[in-house]
């Protein structure tokens, strides 16, 4: 069996670290997608949340992202002005929503 040089070992560990960072980034992206989907779903039932999301996205998103979010921003604004679209739940002390 040939012994690896220190340089080879360093390169292997750097490659392993790069793979782990890529995996971590992918997991973070999945979490963002899930949270975003849940928030958009909740905004369909809560006009106040829809307005908050619209205002936040409108004020913080880059111009490029605003172009991508154009239809979503329109939908959030529409939901925020719907009087039938009122909050259905209140958060408890731990921040969880209590239904009904």
Counting every residue, how long is the chain?
Answer: 100
pTM of the model: 0.69
pLDDT in tens, 19-40: 999 999 999 999 999 999 999 9
The token duo for 8 is: 């080879």
pLDDT of residue 70 exceeding 80, the answer is yes
Reported as a single tens digit per residue, the pLDDT across 43-62 is 999 999 999 999 999 999 99
Asked if the model's pLDDT at residue 87 lies above 90, the reply is no
> In the chain, where are the structural domains located?
6-80
Exposed e or buried b per residue across 64-91, where buried means at least 16 C-beta atoms within 10 angstroms of its C-beta: eeeeebeebbebbeebbeeeebeeeeee
């Amino acid at each position: 069996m040939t012994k690896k040089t220190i340089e080879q070992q360093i390169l292997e560990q750097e490659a392993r670290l790069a793979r782990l960072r890529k995996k971590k980034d992918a997991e973070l992206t999945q979490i963002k997608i899930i949270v975003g989907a849940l928030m958009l779903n909740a905004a369909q039932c809560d006009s106040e949340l829809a307005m908050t999301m619209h205002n936040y996205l409108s004020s913080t998103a880059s111009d490029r992202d605003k172009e991508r979010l154009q239809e979503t921003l329109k939908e959030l604004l529409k939901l925020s002005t719907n009087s039938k679209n009122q909050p259905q739940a209140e958060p408890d002390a731990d921040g969880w929503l209590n239904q009904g």
